């Protein structure tokens, strides 16, 4: 990279996310004319220890204009400090961003301000090097240049509940996980066909086929159990074998219904369950249904519950920690020491920089934990996570359903990478 590849300008602006809420987009311009933009997503079922984004709900602090504050922080505080720096120095830039903020949680400048800059810098560096973003991310991740890239197995969220919809289902995400598909494009075809079959099944039963935040159907059902049963039926109806071609991955997002030591099914029947009841329920479901991956089966504050579920089901199931690990290398390291879960969900905006995200993925890979690269429920057209999944060889990605463009954009990006890499990539398989 030469001196003409240094940063000339950094500009943020407010844009809309897929829920129609304001969010941050950042554009980095290099002296050589390269322009790179990144958009920041936002979650609804957030972990309490996530890095703090400045949102418009922060009425007290910013008169309800948190995103504009984040935008101003980029334009006035961050931009002058980055001028003249090489975007290739991702770690140095991310360290500077954290230092400029100065808080543990990125609360001062806002994790959304910082992440937008970090991602746009990364994209500009890839362009300046003349290589695809996934290849640049692989370099940053320190992976061997000659090892094949891994295209991730998609987790496709076809039925939404919890905080992502107004239906009566407590569990947040019911996902198709096509573990038997031979290629990425076939995996997406398996998912799309099952998604359409599911729609017909719901219609036949007189159930609503409107969708939730991540594009999965959001019907009112009799129980959480019924959601899994109908998906299994759809898999069969589409001509696939449940468990062999397509398995099921769940994200109950249990922190959302954890209340003073119990799990309360507020949306279905109001019943209260102890942590032991929850584990018994999952055990029963695993016997009955082809479930192979369970994310946030226990609440983030239920440390004992997490220990117990890992002991009870950790050998049979991929247990993914999301709210409890919040993509934070320090917090995750404690979890590893504690023997909690066997996989981690990776969300860039939970931690707020590309470098820290890569460090967390490296930690997972070093310790034999699975890593699932993930979208947020409030998304944009940005496809950074597709390249992140391929560049780090994470092997798994969850990015919603198949009928909302902000989700499909990520799948389409991986399809483009699949075509581009040909035999230089293999199709991943989950660790569990």
Asked if residue 27 binds ligand 2PG (CB under 6 A), the reply is no
Of 27 and 165, CB closest to ligand 2PG? 165
- Near ligand 2PG by CB under 6 A: residue from 193, 245, 251, 356: 251
Minimum CB separation from ligand 2PG for residue 285, in Å?
A: 19
| 214 flagged as catalytic | yes
Asked if residue 300 binds Mg ion (CB under 5 A), the reply is no
In the set 347, 406, 410, 418, the catalytic residue is 347
Of 201 and 294, CB closest to ligand 2PG? 294
- Near Mg ion by CB under 5 A: residue from 170, 251, 379, 418: 251
Asked if residue 118 binds ligand 2PG (CB under 6 A), the reply is no
Site mask for ligand 2PG (CB under 6 A), range 363-402, x = bound: -----------xxxx-------------------------
Asked if residue 322 binds Mg ion (CB under 5 A), the reply is yes
- Near ligand 2PG by CB under 6 A: residue from 94, 245, 322, 382: 322
- Near ligand 2PG by CB under 6 A: residue from 1, 11, 35, 44: 44
| 347 flagged as catalytic | yes
SS3 annotation, the chain = CCHHHCEEEEEEEEEECCCCCEEEEEEEEECCCCEEEEECCECCCCCCCCCCCCCCCCHHHHCCCHHHHHHHHHHHHHHHHHCCCCCCCHHHHHHHHHHHHCCCCCCCCCHHHHHHHHHHHHHHHHHHHCCCHHHHHHHHHCCCCCCCEEECEEEEEEEECHHHCCCCCCCCEEEEECCCCCCHHHHHHHHHHHHHHHHHHHHHCCCCCCECCCCCECCCCCCHHHHHHHHHHHHHHCCCCECCCEEEEEECCHHHHEECCEEECCCCCCCEECHHHHHHHHHHHHHHCCEEEEECCCCCCCHHHHHHHHHHHCCCCEEEECCCCCCCHHHHHHHHHCCCCCEEEECHHHHCCHHHHHHHHHHHHHCCCEEEEECCCECCCCCHHHHHHHHCCCEEEECCCCCCHHHHHHHHHHHHHHHHHHHHEEECCCCC
Site mask for Mg ion (CB under 5 A), range 385-424, x = bound: ----------------------------------------
Minimum CB separation from ligand 2PG for residue 173, in Å?
A: 6
Of 53 and 251, CB closest to Mg ion? 251
Asked if residue 431 binds ligand 2PG (CB under 6 A), the reply is no
Of 43 and 110, CB closest to ligand 2PG? 43
Of 37 and 42, CB closest to ligand 2PG? 42
Residues carrying an active site annotation = 214, 347
Residues engaged in binding ligand 2PG (CB under 6 A): 43-46, 173, 214, 251, 253, 322, 345, 374-377
Residues lying near Mg ion in the complex (CB under 5 A): 251, 296, 322
């Amino acid at each position: 990279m030469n001196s003409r590849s240094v940063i000339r300008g950094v500009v943020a602006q407010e844009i809309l996310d897929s829920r129609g809420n304001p969010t941050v987009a950042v554009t980095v311009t290099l002296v050589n004319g390269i322009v790179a933009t990144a958009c920041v997503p936002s979650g609804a079922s957030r972990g309490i220890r996530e890095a703090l984004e400045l949102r418009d709900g922060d009425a007290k602090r910013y008169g309800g204009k948190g995103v504009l504050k984040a935008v101003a922080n980029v334009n006035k505080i961050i931009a002058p400090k980055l001028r003249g720096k090489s975007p290739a120095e991702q770690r140095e830039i991310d360290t500077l961003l954290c230092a400029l903020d100065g808080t543990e949680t990125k609360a001062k400048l806002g994790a959304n301000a910082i992440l937008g800059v970090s991602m746009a810098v990364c994209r500009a560096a890839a362009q300046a090097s003349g290589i695809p973003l996934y290849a640049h991310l692989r370099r940053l991740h320190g992976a061997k240049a000659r090892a094949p890239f891994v295209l991730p197995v998609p987790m496709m969220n076809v039925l939404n509940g919890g905080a992502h919809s107004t239906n009566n289902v407590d569990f947040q995400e019911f996902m198709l996980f096509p573990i038997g598909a031979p290629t990425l494009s076939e995996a997406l075809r398996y998912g799309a066909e099952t998604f359409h079959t599911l729609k017909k099944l719901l219609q036949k039963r007189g159930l609503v086929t409107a969708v939730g935040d991540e594009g999965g159907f959001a019907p009112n059902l009799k129980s959480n159990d019924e959601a899994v049963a109908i998906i299994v039926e759809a898999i069969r109806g589409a001509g696939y074998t449940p468990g062999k071609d397509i398995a099921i991955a769940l994200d109950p997002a249990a922190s959302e219904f954890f209340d003073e030591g119990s799990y309360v099914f507020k949306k279905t029947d109001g019943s209260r369950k102890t942590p032991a009841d929850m584990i018994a329920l999952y055990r029963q479901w695993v016997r009955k249904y082809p479930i192979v991956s369970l994310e946030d089966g226990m609440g983030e504050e239920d440390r004992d519950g997490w220990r117990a579920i890992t002991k009870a089901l950790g050998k049979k199931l991929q247990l993914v920690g999301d709210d409890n690990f919040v993509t934070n290398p320090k917090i995750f390291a404690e979890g590893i020491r504690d023997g909690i879960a066997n996989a981690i969900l990776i969300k860039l905006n939970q931690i707020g920089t590309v470098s820290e995200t890569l460090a967390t993925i490296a930690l997972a890979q070093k310790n034999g934990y699975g890593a699932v690269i993930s979208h947020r429920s409030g998304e944009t057209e940005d496809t950074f996570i597709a390249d992140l999944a391929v560049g780090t060889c994470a092997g798994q990605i969850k990015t919603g359903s198949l009928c909302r463009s902000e989700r499909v954009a990520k799948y389409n990006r991986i399809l483009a990478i699949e075509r581009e890499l040909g035999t230089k990539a293999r199709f991943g398989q989950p660790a569990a």
